[in-house]
A = this chain, B = another copy of it.
Amino acid sequence: MNIFQQRESEIRGYCRVYPAIFDTAFNARQTDVEGNQYIDFFAGAGVLNFGHNNERMKQAMIQYLERNGVTHSLDMHSVAKQDFMQRFVKTILEPRNMPHKMQFMGPTGTNAVEAALKLARRATGRQQIVAFSHGFHGMTLGALACTSNEAFRGAAGVPLNHVAHYPFGCETPCKGCELGCGLASLKQLRASFLDSSSGIRPPAAFMVEVIQAEGGVKIADITWLQELQALARELGALFIIDDIQVGCGRTGSYFSFDGMDLDPDIICLAKGVGGMGTPLALNLVKPEIDKYWKPGEHTGTFRGQGLSFVAGAEAMSYFEDDELMSQVHKNGITMLNAIAPLELQFPHIQIRGTGMIYGIDVASGEHAKEIVSECFNAGLLVSACGTGGRVIKLIPPLTIPEQDLQEGLAILLEKTTQVIGGAA
């Protein structure tokens, strides 16, 4: 028995999917202790948009350490934080005329969601939050109440109250789905909120992902999102976008909602915002909402992560010109071209995605699991998501070399065809 089997909690999960001990990693490749290399289409669950050990970030971090930069500062001011904020404001917020304040909290996505929920409840004096089927928002009790997956919810051990779930408005209905997504469903919901005898009240906030990544790469219909925002405004509720997994460039623009004519009151960011995998989380909050906070009401020890600020500031350079985002579009087309034939070949398969996030819904958790396993054995890391793990999710680093992308796609195609074809 190795140390993990001896001493790590039974809860460990990914290590069962990828039974290797990883040692080093660079850009889109990981190497295990036995020298095996793996092309990474998982990117640390969407954290490593700029690749493992991104050279620029790494050098900046080393330099910062060498000069004894402050590594940990709670919510004190630091030079690293100042730099990060200045670059973020200049690169991301100002070009979009976004007046949002930046709130740093405990450096996890779930913490960002928790803070957003608190503020929405404070600002509106209401308790109920509306979240959506297949949404994922975190594991701590407040965020977990927004997460829809039964297996996660079942671990709470207490009722998950004050959040109601309604069908997510998919751009394309999943095959065979009868959840009743879309605008008709939203119209009904509106009628319920406006009817004082419906039994439901206008909520504090609507919490939505533009792309449900964990939920199975489900993409929201733009009109549905716009109507949802309009409904929030009409009801005096906040419109919150959880952009934790698909923000930071994943869709080919910094925010997943860029160009959709949306104006969220709060945007939750984490994962990629810290640059190279050291934790950081950040809410962007409209000033008129932010003013409801009293100093120190939502604290957290690790709010000021020097190394994350340094790497995160470095990440801004990718958004100062179009180079990487153009590459994302190009890579996305490469990905789609590669996998689209699967949909034709196997009619029960559905491909969903945009930018550099794609899902292959193989309609079977068992098949997906086998594909993931076969890919791993062949040197490719992909993961399964969605209900019962039936969707293969492809989220390589945005910086993946062309060659690695092609090679990974080839493995994926081969193994998928083999598993699905063999099962047919």
Contacts and interface: CB of A to CB of B under 8 A. Distances in A.
A278 B307 contact: yes
Contact of A70 (B22, B45, B143, B388): B22
A346 interface: no
Contact of A149 (B121, B143, B197, B278): B197
A192 B179 contact: yes
Contact of A177 (B16, B26, B191, B271): B191
A236 interface: no
A67 interface: yes
Interface stretch (A47-55, A221-229, A314-322, A400-408): A47-55
A188 B185 contact: yes
Contacts of A93: 7
Contacts of A187: 178, 180
A306 B279 CA distance: 11
Given A23-B69, A127-B158, A12 B301 contact: no
Contacts of A106: 108, 110-111, 139-140
Given A114-B141, A302-B279, A85 B11 contact: no
Interface in A70-117: 70-79, 82, 85-86, 89, 93, 101-111, 114, 117
A157 B70 contact: no
A70 B23 CA distance: 6
Contacts of A110: 106, 111, 140, 300
A388 B194 CA distance: 12
A24 interface: yes
Contact of A62 (B65, B85, B133, B283): B65
Best-surrounded residue of A58, A72, A180, A299 (most CB of chain B within 10 A): A72
B196 A151 contact: yes
B11 A103 contact: yes
A159 B156 contact: no
A72 B272 CA distance: 11
Contacts of A324: none
A18 B76 contact: yes
Nearest to A215: B197
A70 B24 contact: yes
Interface string A4-48: 101111111111101111111110001001000000000011111
A195 B174 CA distance: 13
A235 interface: no
A164 interface: yes
Contacts of A10: 101, 290-291, 293-295
Contacts of A279: 107, 278-279, 302, 305
A101 B4 CA distance: 9
A25 to B, nearest CB: 5
A312 interface: no
Interface string A168-196: 00000000011110001101101110011
Given A8-B104, A12-B295, A141-B145, 13 more contacts: A22-B77, A25-B69, A26-B68, A47-B301, A72-B277, A108-B301, A118-B156, A138-B300, A148-B199, A151-B294, A159-B161, A278-B278, A278-B305
27 contacts: A3-B82, A3-B86, A4-B82, A7-B93, A8-B103, A21-B77, A22-B79, A23-B78, A23-B79, A30-B70, A46-B301, A47-B302, A62-B62, A72-B278, A106-B140, A110-B140, A122-B155, A150-B197, A151-B196, A158-B161, A165-B198, A167-B198, A179-B192, A180-B184, A180-B185, A197-B215, A279-B302
The 8 closest A-B pairs by CB, nearest first: A121-B157, A72-B277, A165-B199, A141-B142, A148-B199, A180-B188, A13-B296, A140-B140
